[in-house]
């Protein structure tokens, strides 16, 4: 099995006691590559460190909507400079979060628009975080011409209607733990309809732990459970899901 966890946070404090062990466990479970996501002043440096010390860990760097108010002058240039690093494969996670609402909406919008602009300037794909902001996300992606670079709708949780709009703008859809939940009707229905060549899988660990480990810390090894659930929904073998989603990720993020 050759799995690619396209969204993980292995630098999170939840892994301080056993980070290397956790990474090894992922590799033992067939995870050949991972993208660690750094999303603010603290997690960008720790993400870069992980990417620099493990050849199979890549980095995405960007400013999270929850942290939008903490973005200062010079931070956009900081992200831009990191994008020339050979292990940085995307700008993200960026987007909108109306659930926690820790940054005012207008600030979230500005920070998102600036980063899409930067991604277009540098030709980098973007990783989109969207919580309860489906309409505004589509509107801003369209207005800022995000289709020029495309990217990933991470842990996709919207409707099939919104999914179609994202697919039309060239985005891939990534699914995680929620597709293993018994009561999660919508993500399963969307996954069933997503074209195979736009499908990605992820853990978003330490969050969104799949069944049957819900309530415990999530880790990248569990991307295997996500692949198994996706295989069941798509009606194919799990090896086929692993092969296709890994191929999609390598192509989308320009990894050889």
CB of 107 to Ni ion, least distance (A): 19
List of E strands, 23-106? 31-38, 57-61, 88-97
Of 149-208, binders to Ni ion (CB under 5 A) are 204
Beta strands in 19-101 (DSSP E): 31-38, 57-61, 88-97
Distance of closest approach, residue 207 Cβ to Ni ion, in angstroms: 7
- CA nearest to 8, candidates 97, 87, 93: 93
Binding-site size for Ni ion (CB under 5 A) equals 1
To Ni ion, the closest distance from the beta carbon of 8 in angstroms equals 8
DSSP E strand stretches across 136-239? 151-153, 171-175, 199-201
Q: CB 147 → Ni ion: shortest distance, Å?
A: 23
Determine contact, residues 251/8, Cβ cutoff 8 Å.
no
Give me the phi and psi of 74, to 5 degrees please. Answer: 100, -20
What are phi and psi for residue 235, nearest 5 degrees?
70, 35
Residue list 115-134, contact with Ni ion (CB under 5 A): none
Identify whether the C-beta of residue 132 lies closer than 8 Å to the C-beta of residue 99: yes
* 129 vs 238, beta carbon nearer Ni ion: 129
The 199-238 contact track toward Ni ion, x by CB under 5 A, reads: -----x----------------------------------
Cβ proximity to Ni ion, 5 vs 204, nearer residue:
204
CB nearer to Ni ion: pick between 35 and 229:
35
Joined together, the tokens standing for residue 143 give 């207005």
Gap between the Cα atoms of 250 and 1, Å rounded: 15
Q: Tell the residue number behind the tokens 């010079």, with chain if given.
A: 74
Which C-beta is closer to Ni ion: that of 101 or that of 197?
Answer: 101
| Radius of gyration in angstroms for the set of CA atoms belonging to the chain, rounded to a whole number | 17
Comparing CB distances to Ni ion, the nearer of 40 and 232 is 40
Q: How far is the CB of 157 from Ni ion (least distance, A)?
A: 13
Query: Is the Cα dihedral 124, 53, 11, 72 positive or negative?
Result: negative
Instruction: Kindly tell me the sign of the dihedral angle through the C-alpha atoms of 201, 204, 206, 208.
Output: negative
- Closest distance between Ni ion and the C-beta of residue 240, in Å? 26
Question: Rounded to the nearest whole angstrom, what is the least distance from the CB of residue 9 to Ni ion in the complex?
Answer: 6
Q: Which residue is nearest to Ni ion (CB)?
A: 204
Identity of the residue, 210 or 238, whose beta carbon is nearer to Ni ion in the bound complex? 210
**128/229 with CB nearer Ni ion:** 128
Residues that bind Ni ion (CB under 5 A): 204
């Amino acid at each position: 099995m050759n799995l690619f966890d396209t969204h993980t946070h292995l630098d999170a404090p939840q892994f301080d006691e056993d980070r290397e062990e956790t990474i090894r466990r992922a590799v033992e479970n067939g995870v050949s590559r991972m993208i660690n996501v750094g999303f603010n002043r603290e997690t960008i440096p720790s993400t870069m460190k992980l990417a620099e010390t493990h050849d199979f860990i890549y980095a995405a760097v960007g400013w999270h909507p929850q942290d939008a108010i903490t973005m200062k002058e010079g931070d956009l240039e900081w992200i831009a400079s990191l994008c020339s690093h050979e292990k940085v494969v995307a700008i993200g996670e960026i987007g909108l979060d109306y659930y926690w609402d820790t940054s005012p909406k207008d600030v979230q919008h500005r920070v998102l628009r600036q980063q899409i602009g930067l991604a277009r300037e540098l030709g980098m794909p973007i990783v989109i975080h969207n919580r309860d902001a489906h309409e505004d996300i589509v509107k801003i992606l369209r207005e800022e011409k995000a289709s020029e670079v495309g990217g990933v709708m991470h842990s996709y949780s919207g409707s099939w209607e919104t999914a179609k709009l994202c697919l039309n703008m060239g985005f891939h859809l990534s699914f995680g733990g929620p597709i293993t939940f018994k009561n999660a009707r919508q993500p399963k229905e969307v996954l069933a309809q997503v074209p195979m060549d736009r499908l990605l899988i992820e853990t978003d660990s330490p969050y969104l732990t799949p069944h049957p480990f819900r309530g415990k810390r999530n880790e990248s090894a569990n991307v295997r459970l996500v692949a198994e659930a996706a295989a069941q929904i798509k009606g194919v073998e799990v090896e086929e899901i692993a092969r296709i989603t890994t191929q999609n990720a390598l192509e989308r993020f320009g990894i050889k």
